[in-house]
Chains A and B, each alone.
Chain A
Amino acid sequence: MSTTTAPKASRSQEPRRKAAVTDRERTENSLARKLVAPAIVLMLFVTAFPMLRALYLSLFSYSLTAPDDREFVGLSNYWTALSDELFWRDTGNTVMIMLVTVFFELVIGFAFALVMHRLIFARGLVRTSILIPYGVITVVSGFAWQFAFSNSNGFVNGWLPFIGDDFNWFAQYDSSMIAIMASEIWKTTPFMSLLLLAGLAQVSEDMIEAAKVDGATWFQRLYKVILPNMKAAIMVAVLFRALDAYRIFDNIFVMTAGANGTESISFLTYRQVIEQFQLGIGSALSVLLFLSVLVVAFVIVKVFRVNLADARQES
Chain B
Amino acid sequence: MRVRPTAGPRQLAVATSLVLAGTLLTACGGGDGKPTLNWYINPDGQDTLNQLAEDCSTDDYDIEIQLLPASATDQRTQLARRLAAGDSSTDLMSLDPVFVPEFASAGWLEPFTGDLADEVLDDDVLEGAAQTVQWDDQVVAAPQWSNTQVLWYRKSLAEAAGLDMNQPVTWGEVIDAAASQDATVGVQANKYEAYVVWINALIQGAGGNILDPDTVEDGRDAKVTIDSDAGKAAAAVIQKLADSGAAQPDFTTSNEGTSLGQMYPDDGPGEFMTNWTFVYQNYAGAVGEAGGPPDEAALDDLGWARYPQTVAGEDSAPPIGGITIGVGAFSDNVDFAQEAAVCITSSEAQTQLAVNEGLMPSRQSVYDSDALKEAYPADLLELWRDSVDTGGPRPKSAYYSQISSAIQSRWHPPTSVDPNTTPKRSAEFLRQILSGEALL
Q: Are B402 and A276 in contact (CB under 8 A)?
A: yes
B105, B437, B440: the one contacting A65 at CB < 8 Å is B105
- Interface residue A40 (Cβ < 8 Å from any Cβ of B): no
Q: Which residues of A contact B436 (CB under 8 A)?
A: 61, 73, 76-77, 80, 278, 280-281
Query: Cα distance A122–B199 when bound, in Å?
Result: 65
Q: Which residues of B contact A272 (CB under 8 A)?
A: 439-440
Query: Which residue from chain A places its CB closest to the CB of B438 in the assembled complex?
Result: A84
- Interface residue B21 (Cβ < 8 Å from any Cβ of A): no
- Interface residue B405 (Cβ < 8 Å from any Cβ of A): yes
- Interface residue B145 (Cβ < 8 Å from any Cβ of A): no
- Taken residue by residue from 56 to 87, chain B's Cβ proximity to chain A (1 for < 8 Å, 0 otherwise) reads as 00000000000000000100010010001000
Q: Are B439 and A277 in contact (CB under 8 A)?
A: no
Q: Are B439 and A66 in contact (CB under 8 A)?
A: no
Beta-carbon contacts under 8 Å, B351-403 to A: 398-399, 401-402
Q: Which residues of B contact A69 (CB under 8 A)?
A: 219-220, 398
Query: Cα distance A274–B105 when bound, in Å?
Result: 17
| Main SS at interface, chain B | helix
Q: Which residues of B contact A66 (CB under 8 A)?
A: 105-106, 219-220, 398-399
B84, B103, B220, B439: the one contacting A87 at CB < 8 Å is B439
Query: Cα distance A124–B165 when bound, in Å?
Result: 77
Query: Which residue from chain B places its CB closest to the CB of A81 in the assembled complex?
Result: B439
Q: Are A275 and B401 in contact (CB under 8 A)?
A: yes
* Shortest distance from the beta carbon of A102 to any chain B beta carbon, whole Å: 27
Number of interface residues of A (CB under 8 A): 26
Beta-carbon contacts under 8 Å, A256-289 to B: 268, 271-272, 274-278, 280-281
Beta-carbon contacts under 8 Å, A83-139 to B: 84, 86-87
Q: Which residues of B contact A76 (CB under 8 A)?
A: 436
Q: Are A63 and B439 in contact (CB under 8 A)?
A: no
- Taken residue by residue from 335 to 351, chain B's Cβ proximity to chain A (1 for < 8 Å, 0 otherwise) reads as 00000000000000000
Query: Which residue from chain B places its CB closest to the CB of A90 in the assembled complex?
Result: B439
What's the count of A-B pairs with C-beta under 8 Å? 60
Q: Which residues of A contact B102 (CB under 8 A)?
A: 65, 277
Indicate the member of B103, B105, B439 with the most A CB atoms within 10 Å.
B439
Query: Which residue from chain A places its CB closest to the CB of B101 in the assembled complex?
Result: A65
Query: Which residue from chain B places its CB closest to the CB of A60 in the assembled complex?
Result: B436
* Shortest distance from the beta carbon of B219 to any chain A beta carbon, whole Å: 5
Q: Which residues of A contact B402 (CB under 8 A)?
A: 276, 278
Q: Which residues of B contact A278 (CB under 8 A)?
A: 402, 436
* Shortest distance from the beta carbon of A79 to any chain B beta carbon, whole Å: 9
- Taken residue by residue from 252 to 273, chain B's Cβ proximity to chain A (1 for < 8 Å, 0 otherwise) reads as 0000000000000000000000
- Interface residue B107 (Cβ < 8 Å from any Cβ of A): yes
Q: Which residues of B contact A86 (CB under 8 A)?
A: 439-440
Q: Which residues of A contact B438 (CB under 8 A)?
A: 80, 84
Beta-carbon contacts under 8 Å, B422-440 to A: 436-440
Q: Are A276 and B405 in contact (CB under 8 A)?
A: yes
* Shortest distance from the beta carbon of A238 to any chain B beta carbon, whole Å: 27
Q: Are A65 and B103 in contact (CB under 8 A)?
A: yes
Query: Cα distance A63–B84 when bound, in Å?
Result: 11
Known: A274-B77, A275-B77, A275-B401. A64 touches B84 (CB 8 A): yes
Beta-carbon contacts under 8 Å, A157-199 to B: none
Query: Cα distance A64–B84 when bound, in Å?
Result: 8
Query: Cα distance A61–B433 when bound, in Å?
Result: 12
Query: Which residue from chain B places its CB closest to the CB of A84 in the assembled complex?
Result: B439
Beta-carbon contacts under 8 Å, B185-226 to A: 219-220
Q: Are B219 and A281 in contact (CB under 8 A)?
A: no
Q: Which residues of B contact A68 (CB under 8 A)?
A: 105
Query: Which residue from chain B places its CB closest to the CB of A268 in the assembled complex?
Result: B439
* Shortest distance from the beta carbon of A166 to any chain B beta carbon, whole Å: 15
- Interface residue A67 (Cβ < 8 Å from any Cβ of B): yes
Query: Cα distance A281–B402 when bound, in Å?
Result: 13
A268, A276, A281: the one contacting B401 at CB < 8 Å is A276
Q: Which residues of B contact A87 (CB under 8 A)?
A: 439
* Shortest distance from the beta carbon of B53 to any chain A beta carbon, whole Å: 28
Q: Which residues of A contact B440 (CB under 8 A)?
A: 86, 271-272, 276
Query: Which residue from chain B places its CB closest to the CB of A259 in the assembled complex?
Result: B191
Q: Are A277 and B405 in contact (CB under 8 A)?
A: no
Beta-carbon contacts under 8 Å, A200-230 to B: none
* Shortest distance from the beta carbon of A1 to any chain B beta carbon, whole Å: 28
Query: Cα distance A77–B143 when bound, in Å?
Result: 38
* Shortest distance from the beta carbon of A237 to any chain B beta carbon, whole Å: 22
Indicate the member of A87, A268, A275, A280 with the most B CB atoms within 10 Å.
A275
Query: Cα distance A65–B79 when bound, in Å?
Result: 12
Q: Are A277 and B80 in contact (CB under 8 A)?
A: yes
Q: List 28 A-B contacts (CB under 8 A).
A: A61-B436, A63-B398, A64-B80, A64-B84, A65-B80, A65-B102, A65-B103, A66-B105, A66-B106, A66-B398, A69-B398, A76-B436, A77-B436, A80-B436, A80-B439, A81-B439, A86-B439, A86-B440, A87-B439, A272-B439, A275-B401, A276-B401, A276-B402, A276-B440, A278-B402, A278-B436, A280-B436, A281-B439
B residues apposed to A, CB below 8 Å: 73, 77, 80, 84, 102-103, 105-107, 219-220, 398-399, 401-402, 405, 436-440
By Cβ-Cβ distance, the 9 closest A-B pairs, closest first, are: A66-B398, A65-B102, A65-B398, A84-B439, A86-B439, A65-B106, A66-B219, A61-B436, A66-B105
- Known pairs A80-B436, A276-B405. 12 more at Cβ < 8 A? A63-B398, A63-B399, A64-B84, A66-B398, A68-B105, A69-B219, A77-B436, A80-B437, A275-B77, A278-B402, A280-B436, A281-B439
